[in-house]
Amino acid sequence: MPAKCASLFNYPEATQIELGKKGSEVKKPDIRIDSTIHSRGYENQRHLEFGPDLPETQPLRRPQVFIAAIATAVNEVISGVRSVDQLQSVLNEHVYESLKRRAVSRAQYRLKHGRKPQVQPTDVLRVRYQYPSAGVIESVVVLSSGRRSKAVAIRLEGVHNIWRATNIGFI
């Protein structure tokens, strides 16, 4: 008949009791693992936890032109003149999906009310931008289509030498 084991967890001295054939108790200390031994090896290997440092993205040569082009294209997508797929290379996945949903809802609204997409000439009135940190550009673009003005806030982040819009606010 095999010996039965029962564990008692009386912290900090957890012990294991082995019950023999006659009911006699033999106490054995639990095995303890010192976690400091295992964590010391990772101090010099910090890059394994967080990954290697990404290379810095080259600064944009003419950020005003790039930012104004994105703002104009976003305005055209929402008005139904341009396909959102044309902006896929400069938009983050989250922003791309959000813009796609908004373009679809606007298209359904136009279809419901019998309106057609209209090409309205849009002028870029002002582009303001700043670098809050390395590899990040936050900007505001003011667009005008004659009687109406719109503001577009764009956050660009550079990863792997590619600038992508990670957040777009359209007012």
Environment class of 112 (CB within 10 Å of its CB; exposed 0-12, middle 13-18, buried 19+): exposed
**Whether the predicted pLDDT of 74 surpasses 90:** yes
Q: Supply angle C-alpha 107, 110, 113, rounded to 5.
A: 150
In DSSP terms, 156 is beta-bridged to 137, 165
Domains in the chain, CATH or no CATH each: 4-50 (no CATH), 63-170 (3.10.450)
Confidence of residue 25 (pLDDT cuts 50, 70, 90): low
Mean pLDDT, range 93-108, rounded to an integer = 91
Q: Could you give the C-alpha distances from 78 to 81, 106, 109, 139, 144, in angstroms and in order? A: 8, 7, 12, 19, 15
How far is the C-alpha of 75 from the C-alpha of 117, rounded, in Å?
Answer: 12
What is the pTM for the complete model shown?
Answer: 0.65
Confidence of residue 43 (pLDDT cuts 50, 70, 90): low
